[in-house]
Amino acid sequence: MAAGGGKIDPMHQFEVQTIWDGFSIGGHQIAFTNSALWMCVTVVALVVFMLGGLKRDLVPGRWQMAVEGSAKFIDNMLAANVGPEGKRYVPYVFSLFMFILFANILGLLPLGVVGVHPFTFTSHFTITGVLAIMSFSIVLIVGFWRHGLHFFSLFVPHGTPVWLLPLIPLIELVSFMVRPFSLALRLFVAMTAGHVLLEVLSGFVINSNNAGIGLGIGVGIPSFLLMIGIAALEVLVAAIQAYVFALLTSLYINDAVNLH
């Protein structure tokens, strides 16, 4: 939170800051930033979550049930959307889903009360863009590996009238190429908007409290209560956005595998 003259900048929380200058390669500085730090924290948290749930107890505990349930959830989703061949893509989609989910939730933790400021790196289009490009690349690799040049038939839907053949493939191609952009933009916008709203409401609470007891009661308390509701909603949004990203990835993989 950056404040100056009573003003709070809601965009300050998205600023990428250098923690370690790192080293230079070809004249380009490779630095370790707060974004990279929270990616590492997310990976560590995810590894701990997975290791703690892989006990294989006959009577599973809650932790083991959470891990197995998450894996089964993704397995069912790919089975429903891709079919029997979807199992080979479970490791990737599961990793993608859990990484985004953990990143979103860690960015919402109220760690500021102990002096730690979480950084939601999924609120940066560069990060969500890389994740989307990874999924899109897998779709292209799978599509051409399985079908060769026949993969281009994806751009000519079955039943297309002959007189529309010059137009429909172009429209389908544009729609296909926009997929990674829309995939990245959806997650980026959802996470950014929620954090901005929470920051604005926190500004109302702080400034109204500083302005006096009247505004503190009339503006600060309602804003604080609204913050609680928005924070709860953001937890739901964090899970939904991870699910949507994984779901769309599975649907795109289905197009590459089955060429509908």
pLDDT beyond 70 at 8: no
Residue 106 lies in a domain: yes
CA 128 to chain centre: 6
Total domain count, the chain: 1
User: What is the pLDDT averaged over residues 169-182?
Assistant: 90
Residue 220 lies in a domain: yes
Residue 67 lies in a domain: yes
- What pLDDT was estimated at residue 212? 67
Nearest-angstrom CA–CA distance, 153 and 176: 12
The share of the chain scoring above pLDDT 90, in percent, equals 41
Residue 26 lies in a domain: no
| Whole-structure pTM value | 0.88
Nearest-angstrom CA–CA distance, 206 and 204: 6
- What pLDDT was estimated at residue 215? 66
Q: Which domain does 51 fall in, by range?
A: 2-21+31-258
Work out the number of other CB atoms within 10 angstroms of the CB of residue 186. 16
Residue 98 lies in a domain: yes
What are the CA-CA distances from residue 241 to residues 70, 116, 132, 186, 254 (Å)?
Answer: 15, 25, 13, 8, 20
User: What is the pLDDT averaged over residues 138-158?
Assistant: 88
- With the C-alpha atoms ordered 151, 140, 241, 192, is the resulting torsion angle positive or negative? negative
- What pLDDT was estimated at residue 4? 47
Averaged pLDDT score across all residues of the chain: 85
Quickly state the pLDDT bin for 197 (edges 50, 70, 90): confident
